[in-house]
Amino acid sequence: MADRYLSFTGTAPGRFLTRRLGLPQPAALHRWSPERPTLEGALLLLTAGKSTLDDMAAVLARTGLEVRTEATAQGPAGVVLDATGVADVEALAEVHAALHPVVRSVADGGRVVVLGAALDPADHHQAAAQQALEGFVRSLGKEIGRGRTVTLVRIVGAAAGSVAGAESTFRFLLSPRSAYVSGQVIEVRGAGGDGGAGEMSVPEDWARPLAGRTALVTGAARGIGRAVAETLARDGARVVCLDVPGAAAELDVVAARLDGGRALALDITSADAGARIGEALPDGLDVLVHNAGITRDRKLANMPAERWGSVLDVNLASVLRTTDVLLGDGVVRRGGRIVATASIAGIAGNVGQTNYAASKAGVVGFVRALAPRGWGEHGVTVNAVAPGFIETKMTAAVPLFVREAGRRMNSLGQGGLPVDVAETIAWLAGPGSWGVNGQVVRVCGQSLLGA
């Protein structure tokens, strides 16, 4: 369903009226397209404190943006502030000094990325200063406006100050692909990992980073799942689209549109689902996307056991069962990526969704616990996305005022699109994202609740 308010605020009368009434003024977001694949403008690289990174400019230059170290009359498309060397409260003044003069000049739809370091448990002054960056970034994201986003990237475990492990993350955050990701804190392991998934892998072609790889997407017949399948295929993957047999007709249509796409009609909650997926993929799997999910909303006092059980089975138990089988049988190959779909509801809760929120919070627990072991034992990364209000057929069916509240209660003042979730999953699924593990990235426009 079209967001008429967003369209109205893009007109001269709409801008005038909403400004006079103090109403939200969301900006139309620049999302990736073949015609406009990059941000439009230069990238300003600044430093607060003494930098601990030795190859930042070179890595940023590979994003395709011109890197500058001094502000010019023309505002930048993005700003990267290296604050990894901020180790005490006094050094935080340099964060203010660096960004205060330039933040207003960042282009509409631009990006601000602050780089932080891991918190040092042996130095409480450094830990306090680095943690302060999180509050700073979340607050700046809520005030910067005009479709601009702000993100904190923590560089951890970098050998000799290398940020090579963050290249795919910079390419994502400093591009139109991250239009609906803001106010997030993302940890990225630097070069010099400990083997397994930490072994550095760079795509031969960053335009098609998944070329030659096989991906499985559950719940692929419609909505977010369909967008994920299409985006992974765009990036070069051979995509197996899985959904329930009742959606087989829609599933076939989706798979037929993809180059090398295949349809697999299967109930993901069946006890033998993992084994059947393994049989369908005798050559193995590189990317496993757990996207299938259902809602059966009702307040707990009115919720029968069937509504509780069905949601937990589809959204959580099936994720655990199939992952155990596919990892245990070696179907997910070393260097593989597992990405699950959580939800803001699992982080902040939601009225009438105790079952759904429990299942999605369970996905977060699954990711955080499995990620270190998946890295060490199986050579795979395990991450999750947590969508906020996304424009789908499901959200189009909710009452008008609830829908409008969902759209406006985030820093970008609008709902996201399925492709916003898909782009985030594609970044996490890429071979260059070997340094990203155990992360739950909220695709919510920086929701004002739970973000």
Max Cα–Cα distance, the chain, nearest Å: 63
DSSP bridge partners of 45? 80
Question: Per residue in 361-400, is it b (16+ CB within 10 Å) or e — as a string?
Answer: bbbbebbeebbeebbeebbbbbbbbbbbbbbbeebeeeee
CA distance 367 to 17: 45
Pairing state of beta strands 440-443 and 381-387?
Answer: parallel
Amino acid type, 242: L
Distances in whole angstroms, Cα of residue 421 to Cα of each of 15, 65, 356, 441: 29, 24, 18, 10
Quote the CA–CA distance of 105 and 360 in Å, as a whole number.
Answer: 39
Using N-to-C axis directions, what is the helix angle for 354-373 and 305-312, rounded to 10°? Answer: 30
CA 343 to CA 336: how far, in whole Å? 23
Q: What six digits make up the tokens of 337?
A: 């990526």
Q: If phi over 0 gives left and psi between -120 and 50 gives alpha, with beta otherwise, what is residue 439?
A: beta
Task: Report, as residue numbers or ranges, the catalytic residues.
Answer: 356
What is the C-alpha separation between 354 and 77, in angstroms, rounded? 41
**How many C-beta atoms surround the C-beta of residue 282 within 10 A?**
7
Cα–Cα distance for residue pair 142/447, rounded to 1 Å: 9
- 150, 183 Cβ separation under 8 angstroms: yes
